[in-house]
Each structure stands twice: as C-alpha cells, then as structure tokens.
C-alpha cells in the first residue's frame, strides 16, 4: 500500500482490549483510518460474538462484525502472569491502549496506568471507556446504552407526546462515546507531538448521554422548563416533521424564512408565505398545529420522492422516509461508497473522506484468536514460546466456555 492511500493513521499501533460497542466502535474507526489495531480478547471472547441472530456461516454475529473490521484478534489470558508479560511486550511500541474494564481491574492485574503503564511506556495514550466514569457517586458502576439513555433524560424527549418515552433504536450513547474516545486519543496524540508524553483519557457513557442533550439542555438552562416529547417534530423549528404524501412519508426540515417561502411556492400555496401565523419561525412554532394541517392537505396529492428531489434542488431540506433496503441500495449510497464488501463481508462504509489519504477496509472482522501467531511472531516470540503459551492456556486458539 502506497503512502498516498495508507490512511492518515498509517503507522499507528492500537492495542484494543475493549469489548461490546463503545470501545470497539472507537478502535474500528481508528483502524478504518489506517491504524494497526490488535484486538486482545479474553479467553471467552468478546461476548458480542454471540449477540444474534443473525449469524454468518462461521457462526459470527452480525453485531460483532459491525464494529470489528480492520482488526487482528489475539486471545490472551491477562490474569496469568505470562499473559501480562505478553501484553506488556505488545505495548512496547504501541501508540494507544483502549480498554473498558471495570474500574480498578487493570490495577488489580498490576497493569494500572499510573502505577505501571505510564512509567514503562511514557508515550502511551491510555483510553478508558466506562459507564459512569471512574469516580463520583456512581463511579465504577457498569453501564449499558439503554440504561444511560433512560438516566440521561433521553426518554423524556423521544417518543410520541402521549404515553411513555421510548429508547432510541440506535445505541447512540455507546456510539457517541466511541466517537468521543477516538477524538480524545487523536487529541492526545497531537499534544504528544509537542510534549513527548502520553496521558490517560476517559470517555464515559454517562457524560456522553448528557453532552448529547441538544437542544434540550440549552432550552432548560434558559427557560427552566422541562422538555416535552413531540414525536417526529422539532421543539424549536417548524415545519420540521414527518408528513404523509400520496406515495411515501417524507420529512421536511425547514429552518428559515427563505426555505419556507420556496416550500410554499413548490406546493402551489403562496398565500401561506404572507399568512401572519407563519411569518417567521417563532410564529410557525406557536401555530404548529395549523401549519401542519395546511401542509398535510397540500401534500395529499404529491409524489413524495419527486417532491423531495425538487425541494432539495431548491435548497429546501427534505427527504423520503426510507428503510434499510431503501437507503442501503440508494444510488447516492453507492456513489458515496457507504456500503463496502471485503472477502465476503459486507458493511457500512467509512463516513470520513480524505483528499489524499483515504481510509480503507483492509481486513474483514477476525475470527477468535485468528492472528495469535502472526502478532506474537511480530512481537519477537518464537514458535516454541507460542506453543508453550497455547499449551498453558495463556494464548487461546479456541474460545473458553464461560462459567
């Protein structure tokens, strides 16, 4: 692979000891951008290998495959002293270590950042992904996406106005924490260029759940009023909602007066432009029910997809409401290379585009421990040592059954 297409993180080495979603999402992104990611799995393996159906022909869950491409898998029992020695060897030239163990676990295994890693590897960036952070009243407790959505107020802003709030169907707290973790690692890497020193960074689901509360937290800070659920509508903008058309449901996101004027013209209703109830966004929000009623009537005989394309050409944000089949087979999805295939693996593409050093999909998600021997040989272990590790159960080639 030439320097021009090796990826912006080519030359970086990431040791990924994380499991489930937040940490693996972070490290997959770093791998997509060119980093060499070595996934250290416990003897039982990453539990998301079992989170299905669906499973592929080899028995791997789609859930696992969605966040573990561009990684090598090494199965290692770090509870054993020899396992820790192997890990320390792998860390000798690593840029970052990503883990999401329960707070205090690394310290228990004599691998704590402050006590061991910082002294042995002063340039190492240690990234901890946690549920609630390592300190505070809830520090150290485990966290899952849905629990944090509930605790961080997401249920109060998501769902229909009537009844109970609902969980967002995408694990956005986990994914957002992974994105924050990747940003933290890259920022620490930039700072290391100046100081020559690594550091420990943390991204927690709890902090992410709060940080993503926009615009509801700013609204509350200013007004003191709790948010209300508005279904598919927006709390601060109108028309910003899902609407039925003759053919498909569509979504309109009209953010200013110019867009509203063009929308009304496209719908053949110029009178709405001069209606004092809809003169500006504040008035449109105040008179949202009347505006919705008018738009529903105007859209009843329109071809939704054709209208959305026409509106987009005029600078009015609009789009048909599509399912997985519709969006993953969309011609624009294909053009943007947002569906990729590699050695029988299909997945979503890389959402960040670079003019000189684009990311690449170089390796399908690994089988458990499939790279044990190659990675350990690269680290300087000979075949006899590796055989001994396998015989002792320090390095594993088959998953150990969970107790």
401 pLDDT exceeds 90?
Answer: no
Same domain, 356 and 309: no
Mean pLDDT value of segment 160-176: 94
Whether residue 217 lies inside any domain: the answer is no
Look up the CATH number of the domain holding residue 312. 3.30.1540.10
For the chain, the domain total comes to 2
Q: How long a stretch of residues is the chain?
A: 403
Mean pLDDT value of segment 255-269: 96
Mean pLDDT value of segment 103-122: 95
Mean pLDDT value of segment 190-200: 98
Same domain, 157 and 277: no
Whether residue 399 lies inside any domain: the answer is no
Whether residue 109 lies inside any domain: the answer is yes
**Can you spell out the DSSP letters for 237-305?**
-SSEEEE--SSS-EEEE--SHHHHHHHHHHTT-THHHH-GGGSSHHHHHHTHHHHHHHHHHHHTTS-HH
pLDDT computed for residue 163 by the predictor: 86
Look up the CATH number of the domain holding residue 118. 3.40.50.10540
Same domain, 258 and 383: no
209 pLDDT exceeds 70?
Answer: yes
Same domain, 290 and 179: no
Task: For residues 365 and 71, give the distance between their C-alpha atoms in angstroms, rounded to a whole number.
Answer: 7
Mean pLDDT value of segment 203-208: 98
Tokens of 82: 């020899």
Same domain, 74 and 182: yes
Same domain, 341 and 285: no
pLDDT computed for residue 402 by the predictor: 74
pLDDT computed for residue 300 by the predictor: 97
Whether residue 325 lies inside any domain: the answer is no
Same domain, 140 and 282: no
Whether residue 41 lies inside any domain: the answer is yes
Mean pLDDT value of segment 366-379: 97
From the number of C-beta atoms within 10 Å of its C-beta (0-12, 13-18, 19+), residue 91 rates as: buried
The pLDDT tens digits for 70-105 are 999 999 999 999 999 999 999 999 999 999 999 899
pLDDT computed for residue 5 by the predictor: 63
Task: For residues 227 and 101, give the distance between their C-alpha atoms in angstroms, rounded to a whole number.
Answer: 35
Residue range(s) defining the domain that contains residue 157: 3-212+335-391
180 pLDDT exceeds 90?
Answer: yes
301 pLDDT exceeds 50?
Answer: yes
Same domain, 283 and 362: no
Same domain, 87 and 168: yes
2 pLDDT exceeds 50?
Answer: no
Same domain, 164 and 123: yes
Task: For residues 238 and 256, give the distance between their C-alpha atoms in angstroms, rounded to a whole number.
Answer: 9
Question: Catalytic residue positions?
Answer: 174
The pLDDT tens digits for 325-338 are 999 999 999 999 99
The last residue of a domain, from among 295, 320, 345:
320
Mean pLDDT value of segment 165-192: 97
pLDDT computed for residue 3 by the predictor: 41
4 pLDDT exceeds 60?
Answer: no
The last residue of a domain, from among 320, 343, 362:
320
Same domain, 302 and 348: no
* Token pair 């953010």: residue: 255
Whether residue 398 lies inside any domain: the answer is no
pTM to 2 decimal places: 0.92
Same domain, 316 and 340: no
Whether residue 396 lies inside any domain: the answer is no
1 pLDDT exceeds 70?
Answer: no
pLDDT computed for residue 186 by the predictor: 98
The last residue of a domain, from among 285, 320, 355:
320
Average per-residue pLDDT in the chain? 95
Whether residue 227 lies inside any domain: the answer is no
């Amino acid at each position: 692979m030439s320097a021009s297409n090796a990826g912006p993180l080519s030359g970086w080495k990431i040791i990924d000891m994380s499991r489930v979603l937040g940490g693996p999402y972070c490290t997959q992104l770093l791998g997509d951008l060119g980093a060499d990611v070595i996934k250290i799995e416990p003897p039982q393996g990453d539990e998301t290998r079992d989170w299905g159906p669906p499973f592929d022909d080899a028995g791997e869950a789609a859930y696992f495959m969605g966040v573990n491409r561009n990684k090598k898998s090494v199965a290692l029992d770090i509870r054993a002293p020899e396992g820790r020695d192997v890990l320390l060897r792998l860390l000798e030239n690593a840029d970052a270590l990503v883990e999401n163990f329960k707070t205090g676990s690394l310290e228990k295994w004599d691998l704590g950042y402050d006590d061991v890693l910082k002294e042995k590897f002063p340039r190492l960036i240690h990234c901890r992904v946690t549920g609630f952070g390592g300190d505070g009243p809830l520090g150290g407790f485990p966290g899952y996406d849905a629990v944090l959505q509930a605790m961080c107020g997401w249920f109060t802003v998501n769902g229909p106005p009537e009844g109970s709030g609902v969980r967002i169907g995408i694990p956005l707290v986990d994914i957002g924490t992974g994105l924050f973790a990747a940003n933290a690692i890259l920022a620490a890497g930039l700072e290391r260029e100046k100081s020559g020193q690594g550091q420990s960074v943390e991204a927690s689901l709890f902090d992410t759940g709060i940080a993503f509360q926009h615009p509801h937290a700013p609204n509350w800070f200013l007004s003191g009023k709790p948010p209300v659920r508005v279904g598919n509508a927006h709390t601060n903008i109108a028309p910003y909602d899902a609407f039925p058309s003759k053919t498909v449901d569509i979504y309109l996101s009209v953010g200013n007066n110019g867009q509203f004027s063009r929308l009304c013209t496209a719908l053949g209703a110029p009178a709405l432009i001069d209606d004092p109830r809809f003169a500006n966004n504040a008035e449109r929000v105040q008179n949202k029910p009347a505006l919705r009623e008018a738009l529903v009537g105007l859209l009843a005989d329109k071809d939704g997809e054709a209208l959305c394309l026409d509106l987009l050409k005029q600078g009015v944000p609009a789009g048909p409401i599509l399912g997985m089949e519709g969006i993953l087979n969309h011609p624009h999805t294909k053009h943007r290379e947002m569906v990729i295939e590699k050695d029988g693996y299909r997945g979503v593409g890389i959402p960040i585009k670079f003019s000189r050093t684009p990311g690449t999909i170089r390796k399908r998600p690994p089988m458990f421990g499939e790279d044990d021997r190659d990675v350990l040989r690269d680290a300087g272990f000979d075949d006899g040592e590796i055989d001994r590790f396998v015989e002792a159960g320090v390095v594993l080639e088959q998953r150990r059954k969970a107790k």
